[in-house]
Amino acid sequence: MLSIDQVGWIEKEIPEIGPYDALCRPIALAPCTSDIHTVYSGAIGDRHNMILGHEAVGEVVKVGSLVKDFKVNDKVLVSAITPDWNSLAAQESYAMHSGGMLGGWKFSNFKDGVFAEYFHVNDADGNLAHLPEGMDLGAACMISDMVPTGFCGVELADINFGDNVAVIGIGPVGLMAVAGAAIRGAANIYAVGSRQNCIELAKEFGATEIINYKQGDIVNQIFEKTNGQGVDRIVIAGGNNDTFEQAVKILKPGGKIGNVNYLGEGDYIKIPRVEWGCGMGHKQIVGGLMPGGRLRSEKLARLVQTGRIHPEKMVTHVFHGLDKVEDALMLMKNKPQDLIKPLVLVD
């Protein structure tokens, strides 16, 4: 990212590493909708000459003197969120906000990202995980961000056995939320989207009903499907600032909304007063950044290894060579109908 609205290539020094850090080179990379929000809506503010990207599988090329579990040539899963695990925020169980709100989101926010020949990983023992032998690189790359973020939405919404759930947005993040909701024991999963290939995968991942937001108000559609009852839990993984208003309307009292959508524009979100029980409806709204870290990556990798999730099915476009990152990013910007997630294989 050269500046807001402008991308291009840039020469930079190879990053220095500290005693707990690692230097990696990318093996597989994926652009994220968040990269698009960052560049084209300037969502996190002005950034200049910052390398984009936070989704990668890598190979370690250098480690700091105090790194214990990783060595040169190790192939690694790289978490998109790389907190400081010895921080007070981590001791409060909010490591993703170490160093200030959203501070664990370092790549392509507070420091250079992974779309580079080499990238720096802080706290390597806490933020890298070994790439399991034989794992598909597409699936491995989705463990950086898409799987943990979709699952974060499910955790924030606190989905339990038998819940009726709406997942608003079924791009790659929402698709993983659908898969996570199914694993958590949701009964009905109403998946909101319009692109056909996303709809098909949502069904495969566990959606029981599809709500097309382009074919009428989702509030009416969900009330119709639930006999006017609404749903117990909602994951928001897409939409716009009006989505909260719709979500509060279709949520039952006592229900929870887990938002992982990155709100790229506008100053406020709207919460409808009456449907929010005039402030007394016990309708919780939690928005969160996914936690990141090694343990989570290892556990999510286990779900891939045991065949409980299939994130590689979301990879619709594969490019070869680091220089193709720009093409992949443009695909993400333009979101053609057949796109779910592009992958760039660097070797």
Q: Report in angstroms how near the CB of residue 240 gets to ligand NDP at its nearest.
A: 5
Work out what residue 290 binds among Zn ion, ligand NDP, none; the CB cut-off runs from 5 to 8 Å by kind: ligand NDP
Q: Report in angstroms how near the CB of residue 328 gets to ligand NDP at its nearest.
A: 13
Taking CB under 5 A as the binding criterion, the range among 81-89, 141-149, 153-161, 216-224 that sits at the site for Zn ion is 141-149
Looking at the DSSP bridge assignments, the partners of residue 76 are: 58, 130
Q: Is 1 in the site for Zn ion (CB under 5 A)?
A: no
Taking CB under 6 A as the binding criterion, the range among 60-68, 70-78, 109-117, 163-171 that sits at the site for ligand NDP is 163-171
Q: Which of residues 31-90 bind Zn ion (CB under 5 A)?
A: 32, 34
Q: Report in angstroms how near the CB of residue 54 gets to Zn ion at its nearest.
A: 5
Q: Report in angstroms how near the CB of residue 173 gets to Zn ion at its nearest.
A: 8
Dist CA 325 CA 72 (whole Å): 25
Q: Report in angstroms how near the CB of residue 14 gets to ligand NDP at its nearest.
A: 27
Q: Is 145 in the site for Zn ion (CB under 5 A)?
A: yes
Contact 92, 83 (CB under 8 A): no
Work out what residue 194 binds among ligand NDP, Zn ion, none; the CB cut-off runs from 5 to 8 Å by kind: ligand NDP
Tell me, letter by letter, the H, E, C secondary structure of 85-118.
Answer: CCCHHHHCCCHHHCCCCCCCCCECCCECCCCCCC
Dist CA 70 CA 57 (whole Å): 14
Q: Which amino acid makes up residue 137?
A: L
Q: Is 103 in the site for ligand NDP (CB under 6 A)?
A: no
Q: Which is nearer to ligand NDP, 23 or 90 (CB)?
A: 90
Work out what residue 226 binds among Zn ion, ligand NDP, none; the CB cut-off runs from 5 to 8 Å by kind: none
Sheet holding 165-168: strands in order across? 209-211, 189-192, 165-168, 231-236, 251-259, 284-287
Contact 25, 118 (CB under 8 A): yes
Tokens of 86: 């010895």
Binding mask 259-298 for ligand NDP (x = CB under 6 A): -xxx--------------------------xx--------
Distance of CA 40 to the CA centre of its chain: 18
- Site size toward Zn ion (CB under 5 A) is 3
| Near ligand NDP by CB under 6 A: residue from 27, 137, 231, 237 | 237
Torsion sign across C-alpha atoms 81, 87, 92, 98: negative
Dist CA 317 CA 341 (whole Å): 7
Work out what residue 82 binds among Zn ion, ligand NDP, none; the CB cut-off runs from 5 to 8 Å by kind: none
Q: Which of residues 26-85 bind ligand NDP (CB under 6 A)?
A: 32-34, 37
Contact 90, 84 (CB under 8 A): yes
Give strand ranges (E) for 185-289: 189-192, 209-211, 231-236, 251-259, 284-287
Dist CA 113 CA 250 (whole Å): 38
Q: Report in angstroms how near the CB of residue 13 gets to ligand NDP at its nearest.
A: 28
Sites of contact with Zn ion (CB under 5 A): 32, 34, 145
Sites of contact with ligand NDP (CB under 6 A): 32-34, 37, 145, 149, 168-174, 192-195, 198, 213, 237-240, 243, 260-262, 289-290
